[in-house]
Amino acid sequence: AQKITQTQPGMFVQEKEAVTLDCTYDTSDPSYGLFWYKQPSSGEMIFLIYQGSYDQQNATEGRYSLNFQKARKSANLVISASQLGDSAMYFCAMRVQTSYDKVIFGPGTSLSVIP
Amino acid sequence: DTAVSQTPKYLVTQMGNDKSIKCEQNLGHDTMYWYKQDSKKFLKIMFSYNNKELIINETVPNRFSPKSPDKAHLNLHINSLELGDSAVYFCASSHRTVQETQYFGPGTRLLVL
């Protein structure tokens, strides 16, 4: 069965420091996509970054990078130079080839950036 | 330009009422979704439509009925609202491949009294 695990319900980081949000996934599908979304207190879901299962390089988008370790089935999000506006819930999600109409979300990690 | 829009943004209603939430996307996507986010922030898919055809119907009470008049619109009608239906409902859309990102609407905050 497909599953996403985020083991950190809450995280704190000092402003300007880097932080890693953990995500592990479980699937037997060889083809899948991994996504990270940010949900600030205003409630909208904002797409951050995507990693494909066949991608050779780790994805990067500005201050966001995805540490993809396929053998360990992990897709951790790294946020560099944290800003106060990064305080939000962060969700890891997965889409698999055999049921690509469905995206499975993890329970989320609440990140608080401390000034 | 709004990519995925939902109306209303807030909905407060009494138990037993029937209500609808509308969703529209202008991204040219062929697949649209409804998600429910509960008070613990857990996000779960309810329905998925591809080109107006129902693809996924998770274990959702049949009081919830999605309707897709065309591939740019997916509405959610809820009959006989219950207290447990209080949640945030998100509409999303994407193309129907594993690499494609889902884009979300702003959410509808439903409170059943």
Per-residue 3-state assignment (H helix, E strand, C coil) for chain B: CCCEEEECCEEEECCCCCEEEEEEECCCCCEEEEEEECCCCCEEEEEEEECCEEEEECCCCCCEEEEEEECCEEEEEECCCCHHHCEEEEEEEECCCCCCCCEECCCEEEEEC
Residue type at B75? N
| Tens digits of residue pLDDT in B87-106 | 999 999 998 777 788 999 99
pLDDT tens for each residue of chain A, 115 residues long = 789 999 999 999 999 999 999 999 999 988 899 999 999 999 999 999 999 999 999 999 999 999 999 999 999 999 999 999 999 999 999 998 777 667 899 999 999 999 9
> Cβ–Cβ of A107/B42 closer than 8 Å?
yes
Residue type at A88? A
C-alpha–C-alpha distance, residues B90 and B12, integer Å: 16
C-alpha–C-alpha distance, residues A104 and B69, integer Å: 26
Please give the distance of CA B66 from its chain centroid, rounded to a whole number: 8
A66 touches A60 (CB < 8 A) = yes
- Considering only CB atoms, A35 lies closest to which of B42, B88, B101, namely B101
Interface of A with B (CB under 8 A): 31-33, 35, 37, 39, 43-45, 47, 50, 52, 89, 91, 95-97, 100-105, 107-108
